[in-house]
Chains A and B, each alone.
Chain A
Amino acid sequence: MHIPDNFLSPPVWATLDCVAAPAVAIVSRRAQKSANTGQLPLLGVLGAFVFAAQMVNFPVGIGTSGHLVGGTLLACIIGPWAAALVMTSILVIQALVFQDGGVLALGANVMNMALLGVVAGYVPARLLARTKWSSLGIFGGGTVSVLVSGVLALTELRISGIHMSSAMIDLSLVVFAVNAVIEGAITLSALRAIERLKPGVSILGEVRSPAFSRPRKLRTVAIAIASTSVLIAALGIAAGSSLPDGLERLALRLGIPFAAHPIFHAPLSDYYVRELGLNWASRASAGLLGLICIYAICGLGSHLLGRSRRSYS
């Protein structure tokens, strides 16, 4: 979902632009390091291929058709870094030449679709590669990629103050889910067709640890856990129960004022960002902010621990 200009509030688009800029620089450097001289024309032409492939209408029944987005497909062929770079280039061209997406909102669109969307699509495909569920991984990757992009866009619009009723949000989520499933099916079908035509083109077959029984790399597992926790924090809230938990129920039964006089008012109390109201976006934002805090603390702690161990050795 390409967000146009003047939809996001200035703090939101400015923040995302500031975050996207160094992220794109890092992605560009990594893609360049992993590429040889022959990769530059390949990346350019494959970017054009994605553009052209988006014009192909896949009939999905009931008189409708879908089209490929291409992030996951690219990631399975040229790797996540190069795919993120190519998708960023595509978004830049779409914003400047085709008026699809805003220029100031480019940071948001790049974060949603080119960076996080591509990574979210690559992780399941990579994790399940060389197993009997590799097709499920590719399908899941395409699905998750579109879902993550859509949910992020919706969240950014809500944070920017675009008022949407609950019914509208639910409808949007349903539309995203349907599009996500279609993208998964198209990605799997297209990749299998490409592999028939050009065997070995997919990098998913180049896993360094080919045997499934060998332990997975720590980084891959960490990425999988991080991605799953982000999804649960953002989406699990919607499925969570609003009934009181066991302790709250006991307090109610015994007549104990459970949270009558808090000594300290935490900024994200009850897992809500108060400034956003009492809705799904508020809870999801609180969950994601909490995750970021946890990762930051754990990352800092492990770094300090590693330094202290190295100083003793």
Chain B
Amino acid sequence: MLLLGFLISLALVRNASAAQLSIYFIYLVLVFRAAKLPVLRMLWISLIVVPFVGLFALVIYLSGDVRRALLILTKSYLSALAVMACVSSTPLPRLVQAARSLYMPAFLVEVTQLIYRYLFVLGGEIQMMRIAFSARAGRPGRRAFQSASGMVAVLFGRAYGKATAVHSAMLSRAFTGTLNASHPSAPSMSEFVALIAGLSLVVAVHFV
């Protein structure tokens, strides 16, 4: 909820001043410190959004609207920082509980969990296949294109087999069609205070 409140507050600040953007930034740095996350590393990783956003900012800059270009760049970076803060400091089961409490469709949440669970497994397999491809496929061309298609097909075969094995394992563990999830626990006093303080701050920034 705090993440959504922060993002909505940031999006609704039209002509944000340097002071307002600084408040957002300092708040996020404090969140990183409170969650014991490496601040500089988080700031560095969040720069991943800059290349794509920077391209559009450049277009806007070249059209003459310098302020808007800088604003888009800064606000996009702050949004990325906020998402990074939330995802890095919240365990996946709590994120799933949060999704359910926000009335996301349960089937969607379950599929998303499984995708997240297996994407690193299949990601590792495709990395090995890419190395083999680079070692054997040779020059770019029609053959390389066909080889890449074959790689995708083999990956699909492995994924399909893995899905069958996963299903069998789940059935042997009394899987009834839905993934059981613990009920969302009530927020502790410190979490509640942090939520209220955070929401108050993102509202108060608009009056700076």
**Contacts of B3 on A, CB cut-off 8 Å?**
103
B114 touches A41 (CB 8 A): yes
* Residue picked from B3, B53, B141, B149, most chain A C-beta under 10 Å: B149
A104 touches B8 (CB 8 A): yes
A163 touches B148 (CB 8 A): no
B176 touches A5 (CB 8 A): no
Residue A52 lies at the interface, judged by CB distance under 8 Å to chain B: yes
B160 touches A198 (CB 8 A): yes
Residue A43 lies at the interface, judged by CB distance under 8 Å to chain B: yes
Residue A159 lies at the interface, judged by CB distance under 8 Å to chain B: no
B111 touches A57 (CB 8 A): no
Pairs across A and B, CB under 8 Å, 10 listed: A37-B167, A47-B111, A51-B115, A52-B122, A55-B130, A58-B149, A90-B115, A103-B7, A163-B63, A193-B146
B79 touches A46 (CB 8 A): no
**Contacts of B150 on A, CB cut-off 8 Å?**
193
C-alpha spacing A96/B60, complex, angstroms: 26
Known: A45-B166, A63-B140, A165-B63. 15 other contacts (CB 8 A): A4-B53, A37-B167, A37-B176, A44-B117, A44-B166, A45-B122, A51-B123, A56-B126, A85-B108, A93-B119, A97-B87, A102-B76, A103-B83, A162-B56, A197-B157
Name the one of B46, B60, B126, B166 contacting A52, with C-beta atoms under 8 angstroms. B126
Q: Which residues of chain B in 86-130 are interfacial with respect to chain A, using CB atoms and an 8 Å cutoff?
A: 86-87, 95, 105, 107-108, 110-119, 121-123, 125-127, 130
**Contacts of B118 on A, CB cut-off 8 Å?**
44-45, 47-48
Residue A53 lies at the interface, judged by CB distance under 8 Å to chain B: yes
Q: Which residue of B lies closest to A190 (CB)?
A: B152
Complex interface: stretch among A22-30, A229-237, A269-277: A22-30
**Contacts of A96 on B, CB cut-off 8 Å?**
83, 86-87, 95
Name the one of A7, A42, A163 contacting B163, with C-beta atoms under 8 angstroms. A42
A45 touches B159 (CB 8 A): yes
Report the minimal beta-carbon distance from B82 to chain A, rounded to whole angstroms.
8
C-alpha spacing A60/B148, complex, angstroms: 11
A104 touches B107 (CB 8 A): no
B75 touches A5 (CB 8 A): yes
Assuming A29-B105, A99-B48, is B119 touching A48 (CB within 8 A)? yes
B76 touches A40 (CB 8 A): no
Binding site for A on B (CB under 8 A): 3-4, 7-8, 10-12, 46, 48-49, 52-53, 56, 59-60, 63, 65, 71-72, 75-76, 79-80, 83-84, 86-87, 95, 105, 107-108, 110-119, 121-123, 125-127, 130, 140-141, 144-146, 148-157, 159-160, 162-164, 166-167, 170-171, 175-177, 179
Name the one of A47, A59, A99 contacting B46, with C-beta atoms under 8 angstroms. A99
B155 touches A53 (CB 8 A): yes
Q: Which residue of B lies closest to A43 (CB)?
A: B111
Q: Which residue of A lies closest to B86 (CB)?
A: A96
Residue A189 lies at the interface, judged by CB distance under 8 Å to chain B: yes
A97 touches B163 (CB 8 A): no
Please, what's the 1-or-0 string for A124-141, where 1 marks a CB less than 8 Å from any CB in chain B? Answer: 000000000000000000
Q: Which residue of B lies closest to A193 (CB)?
A: B153
Residue A295 lies at the interface, judged by CB distance under 8 Å to chain B: no
Name the one of B8, B76, B107, B130 contacting A4, with C-beta atoms under 8 angstroms. B76
**Contacts of A44 on B, CB cut-off 8 Å?**
110-111, 113-115, 117-118, 163, 166
Q: Which residue of B lies closest to A65 (CB)?
A: B140
Residue A108 lies at the interface, judged by CB distance under 8 Å to chain B: no
A47 touches B115 (CB 8 A): yes
C-alpha spacing A47/B159, complex, angstroms: 10
C-alpha spacing A103/B11, complex, angstroms: 11
**Contacts of A32 on B, CB cut-off 8 Å?**
107
A58 touches B63 (CB 8 A): no
B75 touches A31 (CB 8 A): no
C-alpha spacing A10/B8, complex, angstroms: 9
Report the minimal beta-carbon distance from A76 to chain B, rounded to whole angstroms.
12
B115 touches A55 (CB 8 A): no
Report the minimal beta-carbon distance from A261 to chain B, rounded to whole angstroms.
37
Name the one of B10, B126, B157 contacting A198, with C-beta atoms under 8 angstroms. B157
Q: Which residue of B lies closest to A168 (CB)?
A: B59
B56 touches A86 (CB 8 A): no
C-alpha spacing A29/B106, complex, angstroms: 9
Assuming A6-B10, A198-B160, is B112 touching A89 (CB within 8 A)? yes
C-alpha spacing A103/B102, complex, angstroms: 14
